[in-house]
Structures are given as structure tokens and as C-alpha cells.
Homo-oligomer: A and B are copies of this chain.
Amino acid sequence: MTVGELSEGQILRGILDRLPPSTAPVGPGDDAAVLAVPDGRVVATTDTLVHGPDFRLAWSQPFDLGFKAAAVNLSDVAAMGARPIALLVALAMPDATPVSFVRGFADGLAAACAELAPGCAVEGGDLTVSDTLTIAVTALGSLDGREPVRRSGARAGDGVYVIGELGEAARGLEVLFRRFTDAEGAPVPVDPALLDSAEARALSRQLRPRPPIAEALEAAASGATAMMDVSDGLVLDATRLADTSDVTIAFDSATLGDDPGLALDGGEDHGFLVTFPADAVPLGRRVGTVEPRGAEAVTVDGRAWTGRGGWDPYRDWDAGRG
């Protein structure tokens, strides 16, 4: 059975039946949802996953895609210090998409909300037909009376911390492109029996990232001066934070684990880069110091970073395959 054989209403019921019930003043089913944000401010962000540039169905299970589409948006809400309260999910699918895809996708959305942001629910969405499977999620959050933690608040003398993992998701992506492609470079399904435990772990982080949302909210409550989601790689994201705050972020490579290059350049981990003043009780692990703005936005061991600055193997792939 494919989605092309069902009405929009039937597909929608198949999704809503698998999601936790709405707790909003007005949930799914009207022209729009109404959500409670008691302190009078709502945090809002949107992020899209497109088949081809962002994922391959040969590698990602439907559950993985639902989980990841939720997780990457929940992390952006949490990076402001806000508690995620709702997702709106726009799903554009080819008519030939199996109905089982929609069920697995909905289960992944529900699992991500339950595990990463309990109380957050899917409160609205949209279904359309498209030649290209596309998942556009909007996440909304409540600050619960706190001030938002922006990218612009880092001050010289603050400590630089990372909450969450670095480089694991990029390592997983490398496993996919190196081990699970055919002679023409097209993706082939992952055989778990071929993976050692480190590879399996890295692959899981790539396909189903678990941003530490609760810790990010704790960091906001503990006096973080700046925070952001690390999605495009630590150096690239730290450069944005440094430029916005008009400071230099000085990393110490000895704090970055076995493969500092991967930690500095690998994207998609969806951990958090946080700065804390000296008198705060910080969370995460310290990876550097905020310095007055120098010639470089970011330094590693006192020098400019000459790493590859992010690696995106999806970028030039033919979206028609896999």
C-alpha cells in the first residue's frame, strides 16, 4: 500500500494515531494550533531534510528520519535555553511512498519527543505530494521566564564548554560513504554484521542524533553567557559565535579526544557549544577559553585552524539514487 492510494485525511490519521495526544489549548485539526507560552515569548525555528542532499532512504530507516527531523529542530530550540513544546511537521512525499514509511516516521517523531523533550508533541503539520521526499519541521519552545541565551553573549575570560559528543556523527557518515556504497557510488543498505562496536555507535549518532536537550536547559539556568547548537562542525559554528560576540574562541586540542581534527570539523553531532563566566558552575567539558577579539575568530592551540572546515559528501551527489 502506498500513500498515493490514500486520501490526505487517511494518511494524517495514520500519523496522529501513533503520536502522543496533544496537550495544547488547540491541537491538530483546526486551521492552526494554539500553544501556551506562559511568559509571553515563543522560541521558533525551522529545519528541513531533503532526500539526496541530507539523507538516503537506502541508509536511513523511516524511524531514523522521524527521530532526526525532530532532534535537529529540538536542539535549536534548546540552544536558546528554551524548553521545546511543539513540533509542526510538513511532509512532502512521492505517491509511491509506502504507507509503512509514514508509520515508521511517525514512530520516530514520537520517540524523539519522548526521549529528548518530554511534553513536546506534534501539534500541526502539512502533507503534500512531491517527487523529492522532503521533511520540513518547525519547533517551538517556551523560555519559562528565563532570558534567551544568544550567540552574542560570550565575553573574554569566559570558559568554552561542549555539552555532548564531537565527531561521532561525521565518523558515522564516513562509514556510510566508505563501506555502504556500490561500485558506482550509490548507497546500499547497511549490514550491521559488518560493523564493529565503534562504527555501530558512530552510525547510530549520524542516523539518529541525540542532542542533550536537558543539559542545554540546565546550562541556560546555570548562567551560560552564550550557547549554540553544533551542527556544521565545531570550528565553523564557533566562528559564528565568535563573530557575533566579537571575541576569539581559543580551543585547546588536548581536550578534544583521540581525533581532534574530526572533533573540530565534523558536523551533525547536535551537541552544544556554551560559554560560562568564571563564577558560574559550568556543565559539559571545557575545551577552551574566550579571548579578546584577535586576528582570528577561532584558534586551536594558539594558531589559526587549517583543517578542512567541514566535509559534506552529500553535496555533489545525484539525488536520484537510493
Where the two chains meet, the residues of A that have a C-beta atom closer than 8 Å to any C-beta of B are 25-26, 29-48, 50, 52-54, 75-77, 79-80, 82, 86, 88-90, 92, 123-126, 128-132, 134, 136, 138-141, 143, 148, 150-151, 228-229, 244, 315, 319-320
10 closest Cβ contacts across the A-B interface?
A136-B136, A32-B45, A132-B132, A31-B79, A138-B138, A42-B42, A46-B88, A31-B76, A50-B130, A53-B129
A25 to B320, CA, bound (A): 42
Indicate the member of A25, A29, A31, A134 with the most B CB atoms within 10 Å: A31
Counted per complex, copies of this chain come to 2
Instruction: Tell me whether A136 and B44 are in contact (CB under 8 A).
Output: no
Known: A46-B90, A126-B47, A136-B90. A80 touches B39 (CB 8 A): no
Cβ of A148: which chain B residues have Cβ within 8 Å of it? 25-26, 30, 34
What's the nearest-Cβ distance from chain B to residue A94, in Å?
Answer: 9
- Across the two chains, which residue of chain B brings its CB closest to A315? B129
- Across the two chains, which residue of chain B brings its CB closest to A318? B131
Instruction: Tell me whether B129 and A131 are in contact (CB under 8 A).
Output: no
Cβ of A35: which chain B residues have Cβ within 8 Å of it? 41-44
Instruction: Tell me whether B31 and A80 are in contact (CB under 8 A).
Output: yes
Cβ of A315: which chain B residues have Cβ within 8 Å of it? 129
- Across the two chains, which residue of chain B brings its CB closest to A91? B48
A45 to B86, CA, bound (A): 11
Partner among B44, B54, B86 whose Cβ is within 8 Å of the Cβ of A33: B44
Instruction: Tell me whether B130 and A30 are in contact (CB under 8 A).
Output: no
Cβ of A124: which chain B residues have Cβ within 8 Å of it? 44-46
Cβ of A244: which chain B residues have Cβ within 8 Å of it? 29
Q: 9 interchain pairs (CB within 8 A)?
A: A30-B148, A32-B141, A37-B41, A40-B40, A47-B126, A52-B131, A92-B132, A92-B134, A130-B134
Instruction: Tell me whether A45 and B88 are in contact (CB under 8 A).
Output: yes
Instruction: Tell me whether A150 and B44 are in contact (CB under 8 A).
Output: no
